[in-house]
A = this chain, B = another copy of it.
Amino acid sequence: MTPLRRADLPTPALVLDLPALERNVAAMAAWARDKGVALRPHSKTHKSGEIARRQRAAGAVGICCAKLGEAEALAADGIDDILITSPVVPGQAVERLARLARTIPRLAVVVDHPDNVDRIAEAVGDGGIDVMVDIDPGAHRTGVASASAAVALAGRIAASGGLRYRGVQYYCGTLQHVTAAGDRRTALAERADYLRTILAALAAAGLPAETVTGGGTGSFAIDAELGVLNEFQVGSYIFMDREYRDCEVVGPTFEQALAIDTRVISVNTPGRVTIDAGLKAMATDAGAPVVLSGTDPASRYVFMGDEHGMLITPCGGSDPGLGDLVTLVPPHCDPTVNLYDRYVVVKGDAVVAFWPVTARGRSA
């Protein structure tokens, strides 16, 4: 049988460069071993049981999921140590959380409100679940807003029967993409000082945080220098995207392992062509993709609706032809992956596997 080639596949397609992925997984694992910190990669990036298993095999202590639905999907696919990184609140979701806790060896969840602690304690009973206090780093998305609120919440967890108080989560999401490394470092250092006051208050109250979890691909190396986190939730490093490529790197570098294959479907206006990938082929929250290969990398992409994009050829360049394959770097990897059912896994031009996006669409 003729091996399947990348060029034979329908487009748009979500393409994963397996050797680059493996090098990224290995590089982050080596970094964590070297620093003596725990890795708990965030699966919101890949939503894939296959990739989570590779991260675990390289030494990760477990994985993170953003939502209960993601955790259910990955647990069903055999992942057995999961932290859910946003509060699980409504009544029936708490019941689902309690059921999930009974099916895997270790499930952890963050909380930021006393009512939620009480509801989870009631649902879990003496089944047991690990609980972390989520600390708001100032973005006002989730998390408690003060050291006193953190101490009160940790005390409530510790006093409840079935909940195991394990520490705190502190994720400075809005600082991950501060372009200049110096600015990012200054902002993270200021936020680390605030976290230290909370950790000191918890320790003083007899509730020391065993695990301090957080960080991302933009901050992990600086976070490690600052020395407050001991568990790292890095996600995007395995794939990379245009947003992270736009930022100054601190620490180890990672390769572009994720791409979108597209094709030219209209060529009637000189200087521009239309490709078959629009806002259903990549998330639009981070702006436009860039060209990785197939035409001039200086070509500019413009979204043209659900199914199409325009590629504007730079002055003096030549337009790609009808049917040509053009490969893009996605602007923001996590929500782009969520648009696809499968990864086309390649080594060079050979398609070596299709991996399902296990937790695609599992936001609830």
Contacts and interface: CB of A to CB of B under 8 A. Distances in A.
Nearest to A45: B306
A198 to B, nearest CB: 14
Given A8-B92, A136-B269, A139-B304, 4 more contacts: A44-B307, A87-B265, A142-B308, A339-B363
Interface string A75-116: 000000000001111111100100000000000000011011
B364 A12 contact: yes
B307 A67 contact: yes
Contacts of A67: 276, 307
Which of A136, A303, A305: most chain B Cβ within 10 A? Answer: A305
Contact of A265 (B142, B145, B304, B322): B142
A262 B218 CA distance: 30
A47 to B, nearest CB: 10
A285 B303 contact: yes
B307 A363 contact: yes
| Copies of this protein in the complex | 2
Nearest to A70: B307
A351 interface: no
A277 to B, nearest CB: 8
A274 interface: yes
Contacts of A277: 363
Interface in A240-299: 263-269, 272, 274, 276-277, 279-281, 283-285
A interface, how many residues as a size bin?
35 or more
A272 B140 contact: yes
Contact of A361 (B143, B276, B322, B340): B340
A341 interface: yes
13 contacts: A8-B92, A87-B266, A89-B263, A89-B264, A113-B268, A140-B269, A141-B274, A173-B305, A283-B284, A284-B284, A284-B285, A306-B335, A339-B363
Given A304-B139, A307-B363, A145 B269 contact: yes
Nearest to A270: B145
B66 A143 contact: no
A69 interface: yes
Contact of A310 (B87, B140, B280): B140
A357 to B, nearest CB: 10
A11 interface: yes
Contacts of A339: 338-339, 361, 363
A3 interface: no
A36 interface: no
A144 interface: yes
B266 A113 contact: yes
A129 interface: no
Interface in A21-64: 44
A13 interface: yes
